């Protein structure tokens, strides 16, 4: 499988509509890939909380969904279109929602981010939390979907593993000041899950927050297959999806998991 991560520079001086069209052209330019991945909240910026409500859209039929669906279809690729600010059509709540499109342009999976970042600010108060563990089968592998801050919660990745995930896709808008954590956590999730991790971040600066970039493709042994720098970049690599099964068979650590232990009594 050829995976391409598009590390997008999110500059608020560029309109959302213009960035949609520019990113769609980038997707079409990578028709040689099997799977293309975009970052978290790239249309508006993960830290541009003041713009969330104005730029919110529906997951199915909204402007970003329509443009990305067409791009996936034109390129003939599976497209993880990163995430958008979704406005629920029933309750009007906002969610940080990832969209996965098939090569036919069909919406194949939707994941609402479970762990919201902000510590009582920004996303944490403006958006609602998702509740569903989401996987999607694509040719050759099963994708497990997570987003940015989810990386800090290994429990979620254990659930994705139990749901059959072999390749973990993590779009992000990770700040540069915590780059060391990004590089550590991406590799940790790969090692503990014995899975590929495709972690795609944003570049540039928006809402005054410098982005880390450094999108990464990490193999089931925790080795970095490819890593971007800090600027906008397309990062591509061939991944051997059979390495997941081989790694899990050769080093069968997952069978030694001990689950269901009672919680210790407080002292």
Long-range contacts, stretch 130-137, CB < 8 angstroms, 24+ apart? 130/95, 130/96, 130/97, 133/159, 133/160, 133/163, 134/109, 134/110, 135/109, 135/160, 135/163, 135/164, 135/165, 136/100, 136/108, 136/109
Residue 31 is encoded by which pair of tokens? 């028709």
Which one of 57, 86, 123, 148 is the catalytic residue? 148
Which one of 40, 57, 86, 123 is the catalytic residue? 40
40 included as an active-site residue: yes
148 included as an active-site residue: yes
Going across the sheet that includes 94-101, the strands are: 107-112, 94-101, 78-87, 35-37, 2-7, 233-238
Please, how many CA atoms are within 13 Å of residue 132, restricted to the half-sphere of its CB? 11
Q: Of 44, 49, 53, give the one whose Cα is nearest residue 83.
A: 44
Question: How many Å apart are CA 57 and CA 218, to the nearest integer?
Answer: 32
113 included as an active-site residue: yes
Which one of 86, 113, 200, 227 is the catalytic residue? 113
Show which residues are catalytic: 40, 113, 148
């Amino acid at each position: 499988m050829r995976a391409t991560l598009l590390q997008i520079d999110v500059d608020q001086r560029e309109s959302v509509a213009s960035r949609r069209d520019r990113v769609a052209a980038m997707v079409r330019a990578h028709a040689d890939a099997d799977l293309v991945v975009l970052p978290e909240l790239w249309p508006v910026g993960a830290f541009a909380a003041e713009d969330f409500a104005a730029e919110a859209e529906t997951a199915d039929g909204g402007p970003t969904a329509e443009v990305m669906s067409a791009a996936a279809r034109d390129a003939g690729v599976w497209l993880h279109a990163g995430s958008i600010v979704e406005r629920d059509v029933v309750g009007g709540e906002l969610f940080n929602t990832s969209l996965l499109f098939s090569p036919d342009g069909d919406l194949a999976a939707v994941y609402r981010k479970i762990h919201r970042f902000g510590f009582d600010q920004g996303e944490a108060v403006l958006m609602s939390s998702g509740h569903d563990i989401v996987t999607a089968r694509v040719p050759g592998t099963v994708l497990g979907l997570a987003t940015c801050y989810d990386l800090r919660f290994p429990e979620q990745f254990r659930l994705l593993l139990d749901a059959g995930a072999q390749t973990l896709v993590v779009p992000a808008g990770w700040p540069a000041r915590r780059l060391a954590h990004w590089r550590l956590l991406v590799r940790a999730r790969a090692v503990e899950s014995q899975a590929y991790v495709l972690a795609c971040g944003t570049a540039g600066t928006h809402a005054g927050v410098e982005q880390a970039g450094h999108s990464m493709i990490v193999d089931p042994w925790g080795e970095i297959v490819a890593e971007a720098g800090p600027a906008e970049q397309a990062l591509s690599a061939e991944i051997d999806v059979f390495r997941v099964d081989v790694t899990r068979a050769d080093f069968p650590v997952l069978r030694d998991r001990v689950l269901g232990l009672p919680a210790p009594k407080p002292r």
